[in-house]
Amino acid sequence: MKPAPRWPLHPAPREGEALSSWLNRVALCYHMEVSELLEHDLGHGQADDMDTAPPQSLLTMLSQRSGIELDRLRCMSFAGWVPWLQDSLDDQIPDALETYTFQLSVLLPKLRRRTRSITSWRAWLPSQPLHRACPLCLNNPANQAVLLAWKLPLMLSCPLHGCWLESYWGVPGRFLGWENADADPRTASDAIATMDRRTWQALTTGHVELPRRRIHAGLWFRLLPTLLDELNTPLSACGTYAGYLRLIWERCGYPLRAGQSLWRSYETLNLAVGLQMLEAAATAISLIEVRDISPPGEHAKLFWSEPQTEFTSGLPAKAPKPEPVNHWQRAVQAIDEAIIEARHNPETARSLFALASYGRRDPASLERLRATFVKEGIPPEFLSHYEPDGPFACLRQNDGLSDNF
């Protein structure tokens, strides 16, 4: 049997390019659609999972047609990134989320995190297709390759140009439009650019250089979802470490947990919410590196430089005196955090109102309390039909207290 003839024309794949993008550029050389190239030239029907797990027979044929190594073609799909980026592409593995996301800790000690288990889950693969790209890359006629990483909620910016990835529609090289066509490319912050450069380093070299030491790409891809899940933790579950999460979200300019009241896996989040979560992760890493926060998680130290231990003064070390605990200050901080949460969460608003209205039964007193809540920025409609039906101390934990309070 004769081997398949080589294509006379075929562009070389770009670093990190998705298989579907490369096949589109090959088809353009012959003025064909990708479906026509697959069916009439390669003998394959339209493959819906081209960028996830393409058939081995198709990869073999593509290698014969192009002369490109089979391993490189396989790495142009998510199947080629197992087990670094994902443990498996099987979405029915029990405890897959727990194994991938809950073995590490950065912002919170492990005991402060609630382990969750869901069915049908795969790390990083979004529930809906994403169409984001670097506008400077795709607007360049000589470089219209779509990177595989752009199809995941994994990066916010282009590691080459340092600008935000933007949403687009169409097929690069054929017809292309941007959701915000008139806007100039937005420069990403230093925190975002640093995080995304490390992600790109993990994808292209298999390791990441962190301040403490070099780590394997697989560890980096699991550190990020660990951070994302910690940032999605209710303040009530954070104990004395709630201030870290509050500071991170304040620096980002977004509400706590990106405005969520119920937990959902990162891969199923609305794109806008997911991008806010990813920006918060970049901010958290930056705050750790400059020592603005010193979280208790076991792996937070990876973002600190190795301490110098080569020499000493020779004097006996003096243990620092523990700082006295200011319980009143902690109480005030807890109330401030509850007020922030109540501004966008009606359950928390009602729980806080129940606490503040303890001992007040007359309508005039309750009305003055409502006015105070409105003055603090809590929407009046959160309390418009709410009357406390008993002393706050008589409430059970789940009767009125939100998971976020």
**What total of structural domains would you count in the chain?**
3
Residue 262 has pLDDT above 80, yes or no: yes
Task: Answer yes or no: do 137 and 285 share one domain.
Answer: yes
Predicted local confidence at residue 395, as pLDDT:
40
Residue 22 has pLDDT above 80, yes or no: yes
Rounded (5°) CA angle 48-54-59 = 135
Could you say which DSSP state residue 17 is in? Answer: B
335 or 102, greater pLDDT: 102
Predicted local confidence at residue 82, as pLDDT:
95
Task: Answer yes or no: do 161 and 278 share one domain.
Answer: yes
Task: Answer yes or no: do 346 and 292 share one domain.
Answer: no
Task: Answer yes or no: do 48 and 140 share one domain.
Answer: no
Residue 2 has pLDDT above 60, yes or no: no
Give residue-wise pLDDT tens across range 266-311.
Answer: 999 999 999 999 999 999 999 999 999 999 999 999 999 877 665 5
295 within 8 A of 301, measured Cβ to Cβ: no
Predicted local confidence at residue 345, as pLDDT:
83
Pick from 97-101, 144-148, 296-300, 334-338: least confident: 334-338
What is the arithmetic mean of pLDDT over 344-354? 86
90 falls within a domain? no
Task: Answer yes or no: do 281 and 366 share one domain.
Answer: no
Average model confidence (pLDDT) for the chain?
A: 88
315 falls within a domain? no
**Residue 320, preceding peptide bond in cis (omega within 30° of 0):** no
Task: Answer yes or no: do 221 and 280 share one domain.
Answer: yes
249 within 8 A of 263, measured Cβ to Cβ: no
Residue 231 has pLDDT above 90, yes or no: yes
199 falls within a domain? yes
pTM of the model: 0.76
Give percent above pLDDT 90 in the chain: 61
Tokens of 389: 């039906």
Give residue-wise pLDDT tens across range 391-401.
Answer: 443 343 333 33
Task: Answer yes or no: do 140 and 214 share one domain.
Answer: yes
Predicted local confidence at residue 101, as pLDDT:
92
Q: How far is CA 132 from CA 78, 150, 175, 192, in A?
A: 17, 6, 15, 16
> Left (φ > 0), alpha (ψ -120 to 50) or beta: where does 121 sit?
beta
Label residue 130 by pLDDT band (50, 70, 90): very high
Task: Answer yes or no: do 191 and 289 share one domain.
Answer: yes
Provide the domain limits for residue 347.
Answer: 339-400
Pick from 45-49, 137-141, 395-399: least confident: 395-399
